Amino acid sequence: MVIVVYDLRDPDQWQSAHRHRGFWGKLYTDIYPLDYDHIALVFRSAGERWRPWELLRLSWILDEDLEARAA
C-alpha cells in the first residue's frame, strides 16, 4: 500500500492526482478527503500476480512527484 497526499489548490497537483488514479486503476485506489484542499490517495495492491505492473506504475507516480519537487 502506498499513500500520496495532494494539495488540490495547485492545478498541477489536481491533474497529477487524477492521472495517478488512472495509472493505478480506480478499483484499487481509495480517496480520503483530509480537508477542503487536500486528499490522500491510497494505492492498494491487486495481489502478487500484479506486482511487476504495480512496481512500474509506482515508478511513474513517484517520478512525477520527484520532478515536480525539483522544479
**What's the pLDDT at 62?**
85
pLDDT, averaged per 10 consecutive residues of the chain (71 residues), comes to 93 94 93 96 91 87 64 53
Q: Are 18 and 4 in contact (CB under 8 A)?
A: no
Amino acid at 28: Y
Q: Are 45 and 51 in contact (CB under 8 A)?
A: yes
Cα 61 vs. chain centroid, distance in angstroms?
6
Cβ contacts of 34 within 8 Å, gap of 6 or more: 5, 40
Q: Is the pTM of this model over 0.85?
A: no
Q: Are 3 and 18 in contact (CB under 8 A)?
A: no
